[in-house]
């Protein structure tokens, strides 16, 4: 039996970051992971592999649509999907091996197998008992399907199966116009699939600033994605090679069907606590399946913390990482901190979408007087040079104090640009602080400064 200061259950972005920080703070640490590689959903079957496929398919799109415009003539590349998958798998293994290396470097024990809490202060890994003064649950989430739809990961797939298809499907039906549906729908559209997205609501990406959501929907439609909105999927009948999707129009009430070679179910994820043993020892799990915690990420059982997708809040890798670091600090007797008001969200479509802080809809609902500074990438020389003039930056600032309240972007490198505003918000900056900061020319980031200028006396290039 081994004895630790901390055992973390789950080796995803929340768990492995927590483990490294615990070790750096001088705690004897182990991390349990049942998958053969570290990195969780994000590195193995989520964020990282999808970014590899998004990049490859984006390159193809550039070759097909923009190369000739720049005088780069010749036949566009054809798709060798097997090799594209190998490239993707290579990216995954480089990253997962990197975490293995970081564990060794920081002296974190990697316990391979299924971790189960068998008593407070006790974790068994495939039957072997380990003692821990503290336990951190970082078991993440799993895809949640709909009643009447069985995921076989071949014809009816979750994001996991969609990232590992043997070939590009002729007809892909995506259920749900959220982050996963739009990112993977874009990938397969660019690789040649006919893609139809069926969404329950009348708009895509619920919760996002509505002006950005409308612009994204328009852009994706122009790229050839079909959308069926206001439609509730009732069932999917699948054979070994194809499927029939039945949905009901929420407006007209009529029931329609759609044939597909592959159906991607992207209707959300749910916390994963199966086989964990937490509830068996008296741990509280909410009606939504989340592990209940207090403001210090402590569960109702002393010395058991929980972080990431398994607790409340957005299911995002970087939110889990922040919580992982904060909990490590707490266990080490310091003060852990996560600013939940400044967690960016990014959709890696092309163009990218990024957002932080409040949306206009939220500010209106809260009765906060605000001003809007907007700037189109059409006025940004660098964006136009690379065919990315579509999209805009929208900065929201307090009407009275000019303090930045939120920022919503659709355009080139939006997922990177947003961090200027995250830092500004962490420091309680005003729109004028951004407007008075020199931004290098020619960069996409000038559009952020112009939006800040638009909050004051006006943008220059609008």
What residues are labeled active site?
Answer: 441
Question: For ligand NAI, which residue of 206, 275, 341, 442 counts as binding (CB under 6 A)?
Answer: 206
Stretch that binds ligand NAI, among 162-170, 263-271, 333-341, 366-374 (CB under 6 A): 263-271
Residue with smallest beta-carbon separation from ligand NAI = 178
SS (H, E, C) the chain: CEEEEEEEECCCHHHHHHHHHHHHCCCCEEEEECCCCCCHHHHHHCHHHHHHHHHHHHHHHHHHHCCHHHCCCCCCCCCCHHHHHHHHHHHHHHHHHHHHHHHHHHCCEEEECCEEEEECCEEEECCEEEEEEEEEECCCEEECCCCCCCCCCCCEECHHHHCCCCCCCCEEEEECCCHHHHHHHHHHHHCCCEEEEECCCCCCCCCCCHHHHHHHHHHHHHCCCEEECCEEEEEEEECCCCEEEEEEECCCCCEEEEEECEEEECCCEEECCCCCCCHHHCCCECCCCCECCCCCCECCCCCEEECHHHCCCCCCHHHHHHHHHHHHHHHCCCCCCCCHHHCCEEECCCCEEEEEECCHHHHHHCCCCEEEEEEEHHHCHHHHHCCCCCCEEEEEEECCCCEEEEEEEEECCHHHHHHHHHHHHHCCCEHHHHHCCCCCCCCCCHHHHHHHHHCCCCCCCC
Q: Which is nearer to ligand NAI, 182 or 331 (CB)?
A: 182
Site for ligand NAI in 97-156 (CB under 6 A): 146
Residue 102 CB-half CA count within 13 A:
20
Write down the least CB distance from residue 85 to ligand NAI, Å.
19
Given 163, 172, 191, 315, the residue binding ligand NAI (CB under 6 A): 315
Q: Which is nearer to ligand NAI, 205 or 299 (CB)?
A: 205
Q: Which of 247, 269, 264, 376 is nearest to 314 (CA)?
A: 269
Which residue's CB is nearer to ligand NAI, number 69 or number 288?
A: 288
Please identify which residue in 67, 87, 200, 227 interacts with ligand NAI, judged by CB under 6 A: 200
**Shortest Å, Cβ 264 to ligand NAI:** 9
The distance of closest approach from Cβ of residue 180 to ligand NAI in the complex, given in angstroms and rounded to an integer, is 3
Out of 8, 132, 156, 180, the residue judged to bind ligand NAI by CB under 6 A = 180
Show the site string, 332-371: x = touches ligand NAI by CB under 6 A, - = not. --------------xxx-----------------------
Among 39, 115, 178, 185, binds ligand NAI (CB under 6 A): 178
User: Which position among 32, 38, 174, 233 is part of the footprint of ligand NAI (CB under 6 A)?
Assistant: 233
Least distance from C-beta 404 to ligand NAI, angstroms? 22
Q: How far is the CB of 201 from ligand NAI (least distance, A)?
A: 5
Q: Which is nearer to ligand NAI, 47 or 123 (CB)?
A: 47
Whether the CB-CB separation of 442 and 367 falls below 8 Å is answered with no
Q: Find the part of the chain contacting ligand NAI (CB under 6 A) among 76-84, 106-114, 195-203, 254-262.
A: 195-203
- Nearer Cβ to ligand NAI, position 48 or 331? 48
Candidates 92, 216, 266, 311; binder of ligand NAI (CB under 6 A) is 266
Q: For ligand NAI, which residue of 32, 53, 198, 354 counts as binding (CB under 6 A)?
A: 198
Residues 343, 355: Cα–Cα separation, whole Å: 9
Give the number of residues in contact with ligand NAI, rule: CB under 6 A: 26
Establish if 269 lies at the interface with ligand NAI (CB under 6 A): yes
Q: 53, 316, 409, 424: which one contacts ligand NAI (CB under 6 A)?
A: 316
Of 271 and 373, CB closest to ligand NAI: 271
**Binding region for ligand NAI (CB under 6 A):** 146, 175-181, 183, 198-201, 206, 232-233, 266-269, 314-316, 346-348
């Amino acid at each position: 039996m081994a004895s630790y200061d901390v055992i973390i259950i789950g080796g995803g972005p929340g768990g492995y970051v927590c483990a490294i920080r615990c070790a750096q703070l001088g705690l004897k640490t182990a991390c349990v992971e049942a998958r053969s590689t570290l990195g969780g959903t994000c590195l193995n079957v989520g964020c990282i592999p999808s970014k590899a496929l998004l990049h490859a398919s984006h390159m193809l799109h550039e070759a097909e649509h923009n190369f000739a415009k720049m005088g780069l003539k010749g036949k566009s590349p054809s798709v060798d999907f097997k090799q594209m998958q190998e490239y993707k798998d290579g990216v995954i293994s480089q990253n997962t091996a990197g975490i293995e290396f970081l564990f060794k470097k920081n002296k974190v024990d990697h316990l391979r197998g299924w971790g189960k809490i068998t008593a407070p202060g006790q974790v068994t890994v495939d039957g072997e008992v380990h003692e821990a003064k503290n336990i951190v649950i970082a078991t993440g989430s799993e895809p949640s399907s709909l009643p009447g739809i069985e995921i076989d990961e071949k014809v009816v797939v979750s994001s996991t199966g969609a990232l590992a298809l043997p070939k590009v499907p002729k007809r892909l039906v995506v259920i749900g116009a959220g982050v996963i549906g739009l990112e993977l729908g874009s990938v397969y559209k660019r690789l040649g699939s006919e893609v139809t997205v069926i969404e329950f609501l009348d708009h895509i990406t619920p919760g996002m600033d509505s002006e950005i959501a409308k612009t994204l929907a328009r852009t994706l439609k122009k790229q050839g994605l079909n959308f069926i909105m206001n439609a509730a999927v009732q069932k999917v009948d699948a054979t070994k090679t194809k499927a029939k999707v039945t949905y009901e129009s929420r407006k007209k009430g009529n029931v329609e069907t759609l044939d597909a070679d592959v159906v991607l179910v992207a209707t959300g994820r749910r916390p994963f606590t199966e086989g964990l043993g937490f509830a068996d020892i008296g741990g509280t799990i909410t009606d939504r399946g989340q592990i209940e915690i207090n403001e210090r990420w402590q569960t109702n059982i002393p010395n058991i913390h929980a972080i990431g997708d398994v607790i409340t809040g957005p299911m995002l890798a970087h939110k889990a990482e922040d919580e992982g670091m904060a909990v490590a600090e707490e266990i080490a007797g310091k003060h852990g901190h996560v600013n939940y008001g400044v967690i960016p969200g990014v959709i890696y479509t092309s163009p990218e979408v990024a957002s932080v802080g409040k949306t206009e809809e939220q500010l209106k609902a809260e009765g906060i007087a605000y001003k809007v500074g907007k700037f189109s990438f059409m006025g940004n020389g660098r964006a136009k040079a690379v065919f990315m003039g579509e999209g805009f930056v929208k900065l929201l600032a307090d009407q009275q104090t000019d303090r930045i309240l939120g920022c919503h972007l659709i355009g080139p490198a939006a997922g990177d640009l947003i961090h200027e505003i995250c830092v500004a918000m962490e420091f309680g900056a005003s729109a004028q602080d951004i407007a008075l900061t020199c931004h290098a020319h020619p960069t996409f980031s000038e559009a952020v400064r112009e939006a800040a200028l638009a909050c004051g006396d006006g943008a220059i290039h609008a």
